[in-house]
Amino acid sequence: MSAETSSRSRFARLRSLFFRHGGTLLAVEAVLVYLFLYVPIAVLITLSFNDSRYALVWQGFTTEWYEALLAGETVARVNPDAAFTALAHSVEIAVATVVVSTVFGTMLAFALDRYEFPGKGFFTGVVYMPIIIPSIVMGISLLLFFNIVGMSLGLHTAVIGHIAFDISFVAIVVLARLQRFDRTLEEAAKDLGANEFETFRYVTLPLLKPGIMAGALLAFAMSFDDFVVTFFIIGNQNTLPIFFFSMVRQGITPGVNVVAALIIIVTMAVVAVAQWFEGPIW
């Protein structure tokens, strides 16, 4: 048997072995990836119930840190008033961002899906840029823009900055829904006498509502959690992620773990609701 034939035979055996056990290997890889991603989060949430003032030394289970924070008491260097003020700022920015981003992102998705115009390919690439470029680059560019136009920094500039990247997220989610949309339903509505507005209101919008809601909830989560862009453009105001970062710089305490756990739980809940709304088209 020649060397070439022997090499081919070994390769065939290896390929057969791989395909025979490929599913198991992929399953093990998936488990390891998920463990790498979520074990640190599980550890953080677990330590938020630690009955110790030292965050990394487990001494028992307690809910006193949550109770104290919700009761307005200072918890291991966490000022509840400052925390709730930062939370209020985060919610205000996120709500304003969602309203504007959802409207313009949906309109943008319709334009990209339904119309042909010069430079459409380039414009589509521009839509993806806020998602692709690093957050620090976007934060610095927005800061320079606000300085050039002479706009003072505050909550309003944070809203503008969040809208700048959230529109893209909404547009992409709605565009994915539109690309699976059955256009014959609109044609059938028009054949039955519906005008453009009635077709949009009673046929198109109800079928796209899951995608629009998913885009809005995703925009809320992205805005609420954003740190890098917000850090550059909010001035001397605080949002919850910035407030959390200032606490971490002083050391990790049970109070820090409590705030982090609450942020994680709220964010995961919003993303889960967004996925539920996205669902199948029918």
**Are 277 and 213 a contacting pair, CB within 8 Å?**
yes
> Considering only CA atoms, which of 262, 231, 273 is closest in space to residue 87?
262
Q: Is 243 left (phi over 0), alpha (psi -120 to 50) or beta?
A: alpha
272 burial type by CB count under 10 A (0-12 exposed, 13-18 middle, 19+ buried): exposed
pLDDT above 70 (res 85): yes
Q: What's the DSSP call for residue 152?
A: P
> pLDDT-derived band of residue 100, with 50, 70 and 90 as boundaries?
very high
Mean of all residue pLDDT scores within the chain: 80
Contact 139, 206 (CB under 8 A): no
Q: What are phi and psi of 63, to 5 degrees?
A: -110, 15
Least confident of 24-33, 129-138, 265-274: 265-274
Amino acid making up residue 181: F
Is the Cβ–Cβ distance between 44 and 27 less than 8 Å?
Answer: no
Please check whether residue 177 is in contact with residue 211, taking contact to mean a CB–CB distance below 8 angstroms: yes
pLDDT > 90 in the chain, percent: 18
Distance CA(263)–CA(91), nearest Å, equals: 12
pLDDT above 80 (res 7): no
Residue 257 main-chain phi, psi, to 5 deg: -65, -40
Residue 101 or residue 84, greater confidence: 101
Per the CB < 8 A criterion, the answer to whether 230 and 242 are in contact is yes
What single letter denotes the amino acid at residue 273?
V
Kindly report, residue by residue over 155-196, the tens digit of the pLDDT: 999 999 999 999 999 999 898 888 887 778 878 888 788 888
165 contacts 98 by C-beta, under 8 angstroms: no
129 within 8 A of 164, measured Cβ to Cβ: no
